[in-house]
Chains A and B, each alone.
Chain A
Amino acid sequence: MTTATDLETLSAGGSSASDVGGGPNKKIVGKSPGRIAFERLRDDKVAVVCSITVAILVLLGLFAPLITSAMGIYYNQPPEGPTGSATDYLNAFGMPSIGPPYYAYTWEHPLGLSPGTAEDNLAHLLYGIRTSFFVALMATTLSTIIGVSIGLIAGFSRGALDRGISFVIDTFLAFPFILGALALSPIITSRFATEPEQLARASLLALIAVLVIFGWMGLARLIRGQVLSLREREFVQSAQVIGVPTSRILFKELLPNLIAPIVVSVSLSLPGYVAAEAGLSYLGIGLTGTPSLGQTIVRAQTYYEEYALYLWAPVVAVMVLVVSLNLLGDSVRDAFDPKTRR
Chain B
Amino acid sequence: MRLRNPVIAVSTAALLSLAACGGSGEDPDPSAGGESSEEVTEGSGSGKGGAAGGGSEEREGAAPEIEGAEAGGTMKVISANGLNTMDPSEAYYTNTYSILAGLVTRSLTQYVYKDGDMVLIPDLATKLPTPNEDYTEWTVELRDDVKWENGDPVTPEEVAYGIKRSFDRASFPEGAAYSNDYFVDGDKYKGPYKSGEDYKGIEIDGNTMTFKMATPFPDFAFWGAFPAMGPIPTDEKINDPAKYAQHPWATGPYMFDEYTPEKALTLVKNPNWDPATDPGRRQLVDGFDMEFNVPTAKIDQIMLKDDPNTITYDNISATVFPDFQRDAKDRLVIGTDPCTFMWYPDYRKITDMKVRQALAFAYPYGDAYAAAGLIEGITRSYGTNIMPEGIPGREEYNPLPEHDLGETDPEAAKALLKEAGEEGYEITFLYAQDDPISVDVKDAIVRGLTNAGFTPKPVASTIAEASTVRADPDADINVRSGGWCSDWPSGGSWFPPVFQSTNLDEEGLGSNYAAFSEPEVDKEIKRILGLPIEDQPEAWNALDQMIMEKYFPVFVTGYGGVAIANGSGVNGMEVDNTTGMPTWKDMWISK
Q: Dominant SS at the A interface? A: loop
A298 CA / B437 CA spacing, docked (Å): 10
A39-90 interface (Cβ within 8 A of B)? 76-78, 82-83, 85-87, 90
**Contact B462 A82, beta carbon cutoff 8 Å:** no
A11-59 interface (Cβ within 8 A of B)? none
| Per-residue interface assignment for chain A, residues 314 to 334, with 1 indicating a CB less than 8 Å from any chain B CB and 0 otherwise | 000000000000000000000
How many whole Å from B8's CB to the nearest CB in chain A? 12
A-B contact count (CB 8 A): 105
User: Do A95 and B319 form a contact, CB below 8 Å, given A117-B443, A189-B460, A288-B434?
Assistant: yes
For B171, list chain A residues within 8 Å (CB).
Answer: none
Q: Name, among A85, A203, A285, A301, the residue most crowded by chain B CB atoms within 10 Å (CB to CB).
A: A85
A305 CA / B320 CA spacing, docked (Å): 9
A301 CA / B295 CA spacing, docked (Å): 11
Of B180-188, B450-458, B496-504, B508-516, the one contacting chain A is: B450-458
Q: Considering only CB atoms, which chain B residue lies closest to A196 in the complex?
A: B458
| Per-residue interface assignment for chain A, residues 258 to 287, with 1 indicating a CB less than 8 Å from any chain B CB and 0 otherwise | 000000000000000000000000001100
How many whole Å from A114's CB to the nearest CB in chain B? 9
A113 CA / B434 CA spacing, docked (Å): 22
Among B300, B450, B465, the residue within 8 A (CB) of A186 is: B465
A295 CA / B371 CA spacing, docked (Å): 15
**Contact B371 A289, beta carbon cutoff 8 Å:** no
**Contact B373 A94, beta carbon cutoff 8 Å:** yes
How many whole Å from B198's CB to the nearest CB in chain A? 45
A302 interface hit (Cβ, 8 Å): yes
**Size range of the chain A interface in the assembly:** 35 or more
A306 CA / B304 CA spacing, docked (Å): 13
For A199, list chain B residues within 8 Å (CB).
Answer: 433, 460
B428 interface hit (Cβ, 8 Å): yes
A173 CA / B458 CA spacing, docked (Å): 38
User: Do A304 and B465 form a contact, CB below 8 Å, given A86-B370, A93-B318, A117-B370?
Assistant: no
A10 CA / B447 CA spacing, docked (Å): 66
For B322, list chain A residues within 8 Å (CB).
Answer: 93
**Contact B465 A190, beta carbon cutoff 8 Å:** yes
**Contact B319 A94, beta carbon cutoff 8 Å:** yes
| Per-residue interface assignment for chain A, residues 84 to 123, with 1 indicating a CB less than 8 Å from any chain B CB and 0 otherwise | 0111001011110000000000000000000111100000
For B366, list chain A residues within 8 Å (CB).
Answer: 85-87
How many whole Å from A58's CB to the nearest CB in chain B? 27
A143 interface hit (Cβ, 8 Å): no
User: Do A288 and B440 form a contact, CB below 8 Å, given A85-B408, A304-B297?
Assistant: no
For B464, list chain A residues within 8 Å (CB).
Answer: 186
B459 interface hit (Cβ, 8 Å): yes
A116 CA / B377 CA spacing, docked (Å): 16
**Contact A83 B451, beta carbon cutoff 8 Å:** yes
**Contact B319 A301, beta carbon cutoff 8 Å:** no
| Per-residue interface assignment for chain B, residues 426 to 451, with 1 indicating a CB less than 8 Å from any chain A CB and 0 otherwise | 00100001111101100110010011
Q: Considering only CB atoms, which chain A residue lies closest to B431 in the complex?
A: A196
**Contact A82 B451, beta carbon cutoff 8 Å:** yes
**Size range of the chain B interface in the assembly:** 35 or more
A305 CA / B373 CA spacing, docked (Å): 16
| Per-residue interface assignment for chain B, residues 400 to 437, with 1 indicating a CB less than 8 Å from any chain A CB and 0 otherwise | 00000000100000000000000000001000011111
B321 interface hit (Cβ, 8 Å): yes
B210 interface hit (Cβ, 8 Å): no
Q: Considering only CB atoms, which chain A residue lies closest to B320 in the complex?
A: A306
B317 interface hit (Cβ, 8 Å): yes
A192 interface hit (Cβ, 8 Å): yes
**Contact A86 B371, beta carbon cutoff 8 Å:** yes
For B451, list chain A residues within 8 Å (CB).
Answer: 82-83
A94 CA / B377 CA spacing, docked (Å): 13
For A284, list chain B residues within 8 Å (CB).
Answer: 434-436, 463
How many whole Å from A255's CB to the nearest CB in chain B? 42
**Contact B297 A116, beta carbon cutoff 8 Å:** no
A149 CA / B319 CA spacing, docked (Å): 52
Q: Considering only CB atoms, which chain A residue lies closest to B374 in the complex?
A: A94
Among B319, B372, B433, B450, the residue within 8 A (CB) of A302 is: B319
A94 CA / B461 CA spacing, docked (Å): 26
Q: Considering only CB atoms, which chain A residue lies closest to B375 in the complex?
A: A93
B306 interface hit (Cβ, 8 Å): no
B246 interface hit (Cβ, 8 Å): no
A116 CA / B16 CA spacing, docked (Å): 15
**Contact B460 A76, beta carbon cutoff 8 Å:** no
A12 CA / B437 CA spacing, docked (Å): 64
B367 interface hit (Cβ, 8 Å): yes
A229 interface hit (Cβ, 8 Å): no
**Contact B436 A87, beta carbon cutoff 8 Å:** no
How many whole Å from B449's CB to the nearest CB in chain A? 11
**Contact B443 A299, beta carbon cutoff 8 Å:** no
A303 CA / B375 CA spacing, docked (Å): 16
For A303, list chain B residues within 8 Å (CB).
Answer: 319
B296 interface hit (Cβ, 8 Å): yes
**Contact A86 B367, beta carbon cutoff 8 Å:** yes
B364 interface hit (Cβ, 8 Å): yes
8 smallest beta-carbon distances between A and B, as pairs: A87-B366, A284-B434, A288-B433, A86-B367, A93-B318, A193-B460, A302-B297, A94-B370
Residues of A within 8 A of B (CB): 76-78, 82-83, 85-87, 90, 92-95, 115-118, 185-186, 189-190, 192-194, 196, 199, 203, 284-285, 288-289, 295, 298-299, 301-307
